[in-house]
Amino acid sequence: MAALFDAYIMVDWSAAAKPALGPNSIWIGVLMKDARLKLQFKAVNIDTRLKARAFIEDMVAKLTRRGDKVLLGFDFSLGYPAGTAKALGLDTAKQAPWAAMHAHLATRYKDKPDNNSRPRFAIAAGLNYTISKGPFPFWGAPPADKATTLSTTKTGFTPDKPLAEFRLAEQHLRSVPGASPKSCWQLYGAGSVGSQSLTGIPHVHALRQAWPNARVWPFELGEGGPVTAEMLDGIEVVIAEIYPSLVKPKPEKGEVADEAQVRQIARHYADLDEKNALGATFSTGKTLSGEQIALITGEEGWILGV
């Protein structure tokens, strides 16, 4: 049985407020076939988000023109806890909550060529106002960006609040020894993956709009179960959320940790694919109820391989 994909592109995103290279910047790992049909890896370090998206578009175009199917992974949440779209008053009559949220963030957040992302705090404060009229659920900001609807510290996520602190995916992953995924609501400080989602989802939305033959998993593919070759017929690109820490980083000489992570997670998925085991990892888990899977595929998303 042939592998599901021909190329694997893994993206370590960054919400840096100015152009940056090196550790804690954007690293893109590309694992693709050479002229001898052998998988070869290269990593690219890019200083701004707009340049990173342009690189991805160009690379995917080259790969799909030659007939490759591409797995494209981003290391941030592609969805928010169930109920977020409703809390924001988004229209979900003609589109799923996840799609409404992607489109909404794309209209609110626009990157500048110099990578200026400070507006993300003002945007989060505005989203908080719509949801709670106070500093909930987004939290975390430098003192200069603190507002009445965006605090520097976390507000309580109690049962009476309309939204959970963690998605089902994070709740599941946090039960795994050594795994400690952060909340998509945290925008600042150690582990602030929330800023990566807030700045990254608009770019994922732009890519999906540009690629009619792409699908965002698990929202548009799989329905919570494994993915097969037949399901990928006519699909050129599958966009998925990844958690590079699933594979313990082992940097080679001269590599920074981010570079090692995109290399190793790309190899991890390619090795599974070679063994015809990757399709099974496109699953939201056998222990979840039908209601939970509906929330995952409709709004929250899931992490590939968890």
Task: Note the Cα 44 to chain centre separation in Å.
Answer: 18
Write phi, then psi, for 162 (nearest 5 degrees). Answer: -75, -15
List strands edge to edge, sheet with 26-33. Answer: 39-46, 26-33, 7-12, 70-74, 237-241, 214-216
* Closest to 78 (Cα-Cα) out of 186, 279, 240, 210: 240
Evaluated on CA atoms 199, 205, 207, 210, the torsion sign reads negative
pLDDT in tens, 176-204: 776 778 899 999 987 788 999 999 999 99
* Closest to 206 (Cα-Cα) out of 48, 57, 73: 57
Q: How high is the pLDDT of residue 74?
A: 98
Point out the residues of the chain with pLDDT beneath 50.
Answer: none
Q: Specify the 3-state DSSP secondary structure of 238.
A: strand
Task: Kindly report each contact of residues 118-127 with a partner whose C-beta sits within 8 Å and lies 24 or more positions away, as own/partner.
Answer: 118/17, 118/145, 120/15, 120/187, 120/195, 120/198, 120/199, 121/145, 121/147, 121/150, 121/187, 121/188, 122/147, 123/198, 124/150, 124/187, 124/194, 124/198, 125/149, 125/150, 127/88
Taking the C-alpha atoms of residue 270 and residue 86, their distance in angstroms, rounded to an integer, is: 38
Angle between helices 119-132 and 193-210 (to 10 degrees): 90
What is the DSSP pairing of strand 214-216 with strand 237-241?
A: parallel
Q: How high is the pLDDT of residue 190?
A: 77
Instruction: Give the residue carrying structure tokens 């589109």.
Output: 95
Taking the C-alpha atoms of residue 31 and residue 42, their distance in angstroms, rounded to an integer, is: 7
Helix (H) or strand (E) holding 212: none
Contacts of 97 (CB under 8 A, 6+ apart): 82, 84, 85, 86, 90, 298, 299
pLDDT in tens, 132-152: 999 999 999 999 999 999 999
Taking the C-alpha atoms of residue 171 and residue 216, their distance in angstroms, rounded to an integer, is: 21
| Residue 79, both tokens | 């969805």
